[in-house]
Structure 1
């Protein structure tokens, strides 16, 4: 004898069917929303930041909120890689001019695409010539830069020439004093040390800094922290270990015009 379906049976059957449909639909929605690729990872249009790419030169983008690339004019050799590291928000790199045959495109995306603190961008330069670039949001206030790619022979370090009747100080004469007695100088201002020596600079008066003017290929001395406009006062100390042999030239930005500069020769 067949038992007729009641309205209660019909309702339970309908709820079960509806629930199964919702579960299947939800799973389908999750898969579609995640856009799973063949490897099972979520795909994203946001460019990946590769902090492992080795760079021959590293520049700062917007250090201490300054609207500038530091340094904004450098020279490298073919095959060398330059890295830009973001120190503040809302910057990018747009290529304005480059040599014929070069293919530098700047930071990924359109000129309106900007990046924030912590982003790192690298490019390896192969073609000789001058490359000019700018930050699109801040071009009007002078946030521009230039990279010159030159043959190795044009920038090969020349034999070190020391001033007449001046012998370089040695590691026994360290530390280097900055502004001793209120004088606008580094003392000693010419030092010769073995590779691997840690050199300490000690501030003896206020409003000085260290900007690196030139250094050997492969060296990574950046001078004092933050931008070239940041100065430090009496009592401050800056240390750097010089591992790459060659000649290092540096200066104090506020007092460069009056001769506050120095040279370190690493053997």
Structure 2
């Protein structure tokens, strides 16, 4: 049986992407998904976002209770000025209202969906100007700023149900964690599994890999740092670590009581650095 310390974020993200390929408007082979009625433009979402200024490979995920905001005229460094949406891509749940807010920098801009689902009107450049749209239907919505489309001012909103497992408390806690796809790693027959803290692989360096795992009572879980300042703090129990920066196993805890234990990296909580441990009693083979 495989040792859970071999779990890599690259493997977890690959599995997650395969599970959500249809949501992104592509199959696992990167071809368009004809079943996605809202995705009216051709090609794969990855190809679309590859031309988007400011896109660095991560689709920012928001949970059902979040209020996503996208900056219009975001600065992305030399060569692009402020011809960008920040973040370039978001993933939200049905019924979520996304608000675009103008930075006041760069050329006049607007927000126009390719499928005419929303349109902010004429381009403006007023600092603090806002436009909102509520996404009721699932699908992938690509949009542009018309004056700067050719310059790479592109964006996307993916509307999909949040990941679901057999543990609602875990799903609610991890709803905005990019690499969580509803998978809860089964570690019930391992005495001392490892969770990777701050790996640079995958969509974000501020995630735990895996984000959720189930263990048996009496199991000692170890958290291994890959570098950078991280601090583990539990929401449901008086358990936690100090801020640590050096690579290696920097924290471990033995879970003697059954329950759902939610935790986060205190410095990076707002960036989606959250995880969960489900502790169960009984025979792991059941």
Give TM class, smaller chain.
0.3 to 0.5
Q: Which has the higher helix share?
A: 1
Bigger radius of gyration among the two? 1
